[in-house]
Structure 1
Amino acid sequence: MQPGRHNTLPWNDLQDFLAVARAGQIARAAALIGVDATTIGRRLRRLEARLGHTLFEQTREGQVLTEAGEALLAQVEQMQNAAERIVESRHGPETLAGLLRVSVSEGFGTWLIAEHLHDFAAAHPALTIDLAASSGFLSPSRREADVAVLLARPRHGPVVAGKLSDYRLHLYAARARVERLGMPTRHALGTVHPLIGYIPDLLYAPELRYLDEIGPLPPPTLRSSSINAQARLVASGAGVGVLPHFIGAADPALVRVLPEVTITRSFWLVTHRDTRQLRRVRAFCDWLGDLVARFRPQLLDTA
């Protein structure tokens, strides 16, 4: 063995440690960074052996940092921040490069961001962009995402948050269903017209409990964790469901029912306080702010 070789710490091991520290689970970290969980576990054991400290405690929920792990995390995050700034500086002040990971709700990500992200990508071809648009969010506070659009302002964590926009939701049904059975009344919801909604125990945010605000109604009998699946169920004529206006009004096959029902929610733009000044993060936040300003009438039902 070469002198001093045992004292070196491979950067891959440190990056895997960082991913597990942020994700809280080896399996979740493996999915986020695209490395096999067995490989991550082996690298963590090697890192602990070289440092002479246990970095994580195994719990039922996953991996929890020990005191030594907390101390290492602070140092590795500084190294990661420095590495990200080096990547940016290599490409000059006018070029954005590196990886930008954005976490958004499925509906907002699919119906607004994905429709226009090619504009931002074309302007910054050296940038790799991950758009995580799913039923759930990656956490900026754990550095799982560089930018997140959340349904509520985070109450804690090393993040900076600001309201992006309010948006409105209404009840919708298929136009063909309304023509066949008539305009739904409140009393017909859940009987003549089945209700479509979220699966209660799979809700990833309390803000998605839309039907609770409409009044006493039978529970939905057609349920999905996906707002896009719910929109397709409504459009197929399966029943009545709550959809964001920017989804419902964009589909000519849908018609708004019970027009007196309006639900308001908010999108919050969240970044980590240590990386929000990276040029690629600032550029995307500026672009997203401009995009939302252009489409605010569709978000707020004022078009």
Structure 2
Amino acid sequence: MDWSDLPFFLAVARTGQIARAARALGTDPTTAGRRIRRLEQALGERLFEQTPDGQHLTAAGLRLRDQAEAMARIATGIGHRPSPNEPVHGSLRVSVSEGFGTWFISRHLGQFAERHPQVQVELVATSGFLNPSRRETDLAVLLARPRRGPLVTRRLTDYALTLYASEAYLAQHPLPDADALPGHRLIGYIPDILYAPELNYLDELPVPVEPQLLSSSINAQHRMIASGAGVGILPRFIGDADPGLRPVLPDIAIRRSFWLVTHRETREFAAVRAFADWLITLTRREQRLLTGE
């Protein structure tokens, strides 16, 4: 099939007459009719029925019209750069850590959807990250700045972590100071399957401790801490959001950073740019929750 025949087909399908379609395309009816017949021969199906009123689409023509219209919409958008006031549309995949996606971004994502109703967002919030270098994701919020790859990076925000325990646990197991930590049940990550070295928080405590309850999931750790199973380190945006938890030993403050990463070839896509701008503004507004300051 010669793809250049499709505009002739679409013009006839829209106008209902070969003569009108030919005028719209700046050609003559003989040429337009020849291109339609060539397309029908290539597809092995009749696309139009000749009637006194002009050309009517057959069932095969109706199917092709829907496909050709979709192709025309895509072709119209190629090379088009929307103006600042033009609605953003498209789909977008965002890869973030499990905790940040669950406890922070998802709580505010409705605001982005209200502002950009024609953008479909896929929030991939897991224990691990999709790779923006391989175009597995349009944006990623990473725990460390990538050192190589065709990427554009910026520090999104710092965030703070501290020790938390439930009120019920502390009622039975007071924690007066850091020296008492080894006598408590600690909750943490599984060391040999950490998906990022930045998650190795327990080594930064002032006294050596060995966790008894371990999980690769920060959400599972949160549930264990909230159930009274022990003491563990959580980001402030998780621990402070749970009224059943209490920060303990507040002088122990651990800091980390989130990095916003996009591929060089996609960073100027309208949906990517809109989401990045929204997320940057959001994290600036929520600094107290993120850093405790």
TM-score by length of 1: 0.68
C-alpha separation in 2, matches of 1:248 and 1:190 = 21
Q: CA deviation at 1:183?
A: 2.4
Residue aligning to 1:284 = 275
The 3-state SS of whatever aligns with 1:189 is helix
1:230 lines up with 2:221 in the alignment: yes
1:239 lines up with 2:230 in the alignment: yes
1:269 lines up with 2:260 in the alignment: yes
Paired amino acid for 1:237:
G
Paired amino acid for 1:146:
D
Unaligned runs of 5+ in 2: 3-73
- Residues 265-298 of structure 1, C-alpha deviation per residue, up to 9 Å, x if partnerless? 0000000011101111110000001110110111
Residue aligning to 1:11 = none
Q: CA deviation at 1:121?
A: 1.3
C-alpha separation in 1, matches of 2:228 and 2:152 = 42
Residue aligning to 2:139 = 147
- Residues 37-61 of structure 1, C-alpha deviation per residue, up to 9 Å, x if partnerless? xxxxxxxxxxxxxxxxxxxxxxxxx
Residue aligning to 2:35 = none
Q: Does structure 2 conserve the Cα–Cα contact (< 8 Å) formed by 1:173 and 1:255?
A: yes
Q: 1:181 aligns with which of 151, 159, 173?
A: 173
Residue aligning to 2:202 = 211
C-alpha separation in 1, matches of 2:203 and 2:291 = 21
- Residues 102-143 of structure 1, C-alpha deviation per residue, up to 9 Å, x if partnerless? 001111111111001011112222221100011000111111
Residues 87 and 295 (structure 1), Cα distance of their counterparts in 2 relative to 1, 3 Å cut: farther
Residue aligning to 1:256 = 247
C-alpha separation in 1, matches of 2:179 and 2:75 = 57
Residues 184 and 87 (structure 1), Cα distance of their counterparts in 2 relative to 1, 3 Å cut: farther
Q: CA deviation at 1:255?
A: 1.0
Aligned residues: 222
Residue aligning to 2:17 = none
Q: Identity over the aligned pairs, expressed in percent?
A: 57
Task: For 1:78-89, list aligned pairs within 5 A.
Answer: 86=77, 89=80
- Residues 183-212 of structure 1, C-alpha deviation per residue, up to 9 Å, x if partnerless? 254343243x21100011221000000001
C-alpha separation in 1, matches of 2:117 and 2:75 = 17
Unaligned runs of 5+ in 1: 4-82
Q: CA deviation at 1:220?
A: 0.9
Q: CA deviation at 1:215?
A: 3.7
Task: For 1:1-303, list aligned pairs within 5 A.
Answer: 86=77, 89=80, 94-191=86-183, 193-302=184-293
Q: CA deviation at 1:91?
A: 8.6
- Residues 222-251 of structure 1, C-alpha deviation per residue, up to 9 Å, x if partnerless? 011111111111010000100001111111
C-alpha separation in 2, matches of 1:95 and 1:295 = 26
Q: Does structure 2 conserve the Cα–Cα contact (< 8 Å) formed by 1:88 and 1:279?
A: no
Q: Does structure 1 conserve the Cα–Cα contact (< 8 Å) formed by 2:178 and 2:206?
A: no
C-alpha separation in 1, matches of 2:240 and 2:211 = 22
